Amino acid sequence: MSKAIVSSLYDSEVFRMACRQFDQAADAISLPDAIRDRTKYPRRCLAVSLPVRRRDGSVTVFEGYRVQHNLSTGPSKGGIRFHQDVTLGEVAALAMWMSWKTSLVGLPYGGAKGGVIVDPNQLSEGELEHLSRRYMQEMVNFVGPQVDVPAPDVGTNEKVMGWMMDTYSNHVGHVASAVVTGKPLSLGGSQGRREATGAGVAYLARRYLEDLGLPITQATVAIQGFGNVGSETALALARAGARIIAISDYTGGIHNPRGIDLARALEYVRTQRTLRDFDGGEAVTNEELLELPCTILAPCALERVITAANAPRLRCRLIAEGANGPTTNEADRILEERGDIELIPDVLCNSGGVIVSYFEWLQNLSNFYWDRDEVLTKLFAMLDRAKDAVEAQRRKFKFSRRLAALTLGIQRVADAKQSRGLFP
Ligand code: GLU
Ligand 1 atom with the shortest distance to the CA of 94:
4
Q: What is the pLDDT of residues 30-81, one digit of tens each?
A: 999 989 999 999 999 999 999 999 999 999 999 999 999 999 999 999 999 9
pTM for the whole thing? 0.98
Average pLDDT over residues 125-153: 98
Question: Phi and psi of 279, rounded to 5°?
Answer: -100, 20
Tens of pLDDT, residue by residue over 218-261, are 999 999 999 999 999 999 999 999 999 999 999 999 999 999 99
Q: Residue 2 pLDDT more than 80?
A: no
- Going from the Cα of 338 to the center of ligand 1, the distance in angstroms, rounded, reads 31
Q: Report the pLDDT value the prediction gives residue 54, as an integer from 0 to 100.
A: 97
Counting ligand 1 atoms within 8 A of each CB, the residue from 156, 165, 197 with the most, and so the one to mutate, is 197
- HEC sequence for the chain: CCCCCCCCCCCCHHHHHHHHHHHHHHHHCCCCHHHHHHHHCCCEEEEEEEEEECCCCCEEEEEEEEEEEECCCCCEEEEEEEECCCCHHHHHHHHHHHHHHHHHCCCCCCEEEEEEECCHHHCCHHHHHHHHHHHHHHHCCCCECCCEEEEECCCCCHHHHHHHHHHHHHHHCCCCHHHCCCCCHHHCCCCCHHHHHHHHHHHHHHHHHHHHCCCHHHCEEEEECCCHHHHHHHHHHHHCCCEEEEEEECCEEEECCCCCCHHHHHHHHHHHCCCCCCCCCEEECHHHHHCCCCCEEEECCCCCCECCCCHHHCCCCEEECCCCCCECHHHHHHHHHHCCCEEECHHHHCCHHHHHHHHHHHHHHHCCCCCHHHHHHHHHHHHHHHHHHHHHHHHHHCCCHHHHHHHHHHHHHHHHHHHHCCCC
Mean pLDDT across the chain, nearest whole number? 97
Of the residues 113, 159, 387, 417, only one is catalytic, namely 113
Q: What is the mean pLDDT of residues 348-355?
A: 98
CA 158–ligand 1 middle distance (angstroms): 12
- Give the Å distance between the CA of 312 and the centre of ligand 1: 30
User: Confidence band (pLDDT; 50, 70, 90) for 88?
Assistant: very high
Q: Are 2 and 16 in contact (CB under 8 A)?
A: no
Q: How confident is the model at residue 295 (pLDDT cuts 50, 70, 90)?
A: very high
> What is the whole-number distance in angstroms between the Cα of residue 157 and the centre of ligand 1?
11
- Mean pLDDT value of segment 324-328: 98
Q: How far is CA 92 from CA 44, 98, 401, in A?
A: 10, 10, 23
pLDDT in tens, 369-391: 999 999 999 999 999 999 999 99
Distance 352 CA to ligand 1 centre (A): 9
CB-count burial class (<10 Å; 0-12, 13-18, 19+) for 407: buried
Q: Report the chain's C-alpha Rg in angstroms.
A: 21
What are the domain boundaries of the chain?
A: 41-179, 196-349
How far, in Å, CA of 48 to CA of 63, rounded?
Answer: 6
86 Cβ neighbours under 8 A, 6+ residues apart: 65, 115, 116, 117, 118
- Ligand 1 centre to CA of 229 (Å) is 11
What residue owns the CA closest to ligand 1's atom 9?
78
Report residue 4's pLDDT band, with 50, 70 and 90 as the boundaries.
Answer: confident
- Which atom in ligand 1 lies closest to the alpha carbon of residue 351? 10
Helices 372-397, 88-104: axis angle to 10 degrees equals 90
Closest by CA position to 100, among listed 409, 414, 415: 409
Residues with beta carbon inside 6 Å of ligand 1? 77-79, 151, 153, 181, 324, 350, 353-354, 357
Atom of ligand 1 nearest to the CA of 78: 9
What is the distance, to the nearest Å, from the Cα of residue 319 to the centroid of all Cα atoms in its chain? Answer: 15
Q: Name the residue of 354, 355, 360, 363 to mutate for ligand 1: max ligand atoms within 8 A of Cβ.
A: 354
Between 153 and 4, the more confident residue is: 153
Nearest Cα residue to atom 8 of ligand 1: 354
According to DSSP, the β-strands at 148-152 and 76-83 are parallel
- Residue 236 has a pLDDT of 98
Q: Which of 82, 232, 357 to mutate to test the pocket of ligand 1 (most atoms within 8 A of CB)?
A: 357
How many other C-beta atoms are found inside a 10 Å radius of the C-beta of residue 163? Answer: 21
Is the predicted pLDDT of residue 1 greater than 90, yes or no? no
At the second CATH level, the architecture of 41-179 is 3-Layer(aba) Sandwich (3.40)
Confidence (pLDDT) at 3: 80
Q: Over pLDDT 70: what percentage of the chain?
A: 100
Same fold, 41-179 and 196-349: yes
Is 113 assigned a catalytic role? Answer: yes
Say which CATH superfamily domain 196-349 falls into: NAD(P)-binding Rossmann-like Domain (3.40.50.720)
